[in-house]
Amino acid sequence: MNKKVIIIGGEGNGGVVAACIEDNRNRFNDLEWEVAGFINDFEKGKTINGYKVLGGTDEIGRLLEEDYFFMYAIHMIGRNVKSEEVFLQMNIPDSKFATIVHKTAFVADNAVLEPGVLVMSNSYIGPAAHIGKCSLVLANALIGHNTTVGALCHFSVGSITSSYVTIGNVSDVTLGAKVLEKRKLGNYSVAGANSLITHDIPDYEIHVGSPAKFLKKIKLD
């Protein structure tokens, strides 16, 4: 089908999105998506992972008029509010976001992936889970059944989020973190690397450790 995708971001999460698309094409002959290039304010005229940077975020209005889809791959852990601010400034309609799932991932039939979600290799999305718009689920991440995730969230490699968990908007479950069932993570919250989340995390807070404890507030700018 070769629907063309523009990745908004850099070689970090943006490179992961591109690699997912290319691996689906090369190993599994899934030709639904094709990387058209990147949008990046700091790399204009250059390339990212071999793909042309088509311009900065000021070009998005023009590109929306063409036959492109978008993946939003900017997520600044600890600066979650800024990540959302940049996203909202772009004003991209839901119909213009791609939803991309690696062929080795498991997504239950009754799970919901909102527009712009990425599910990377060997990940698991359980039954009746709901993943919010433009959230990134990276390799080997597990999200249990009946878990609800807000928009613009980020699940790092190897993270485990159990069942009946509720996560607000623009929140992180970082490298190797584990969230026990029926917990609530607020908006702009962070479960730190290798943490064990045994309690709820309020809005704007970073919790770390095993069991996790409050570390600090996230940056608001």
The answer to the question of residue 170 being in a domain is yes
Q: Is 71 helix (H, G, I), strand (E, B) or coil?
A: strand
Say if residue 62 is in the same domain as residue 108. no
Say if residue 130 is in the same domain as residue 202. yes
Predicted confidence pLDDT, tens digits, the chain (221 residues): 689 999 999 999 999 999 999 999 999 999 999 999 999 999 998 999 999 999 999 999 999 999 999 999 998 888 889 899 999 999 999 999 999 999 999 999 999 999 999 999 999 999 999 999 999 999 999 999 999 999 999 999 999 999 999 999 999 999 999 999 999 999 999 999 999 999 999 999 999 999 999 999 998 87
Say if residue 54 is in the same domain as residue 119. no
Which residues are CB-contacts of 152 (< 8 A; sequence separation ≥ 6)?
Answer: 72, 75, 80, 83, 84, 87, 132, 133, 134, 135, 169, 170
Number of domains in the chain: 2
Say if residue 13 is in the same domain as residue 108. no
The answer to the question of residue 91 being in a domain is no
Q: What is the pTM of this model?
A: 0.96
Q: Tell me if 72 sits within 8 A of 87, measured CB to CB.
A: yes
Say if residue 48 is in the same domain as residue 145. no
Domain of residue 60 covers 3-74
The CATH number of residue 69's host domain is 3.40.50.20
Q: Which residue has the tokens 């613009």?
A: 152
Structure token pair of residue 81: 């509010």
Q: Tell me if 173 sits within 8 A of 123, measured CB to CB.
A: no
Say if residue 128 is in the same domain as residue 25. no
The burial class, CB within 10 Å (0-12 / 13-18 / 19+), for 92 is buried
Say if residue 70 is in the same domain as residue 153. no
User: Which residue from 124, 103, 99, 127 is spatially nearest to 114, judged by alpha carbons?
Assistant: 99
The answer to the question of residue 87 being in a domain is no
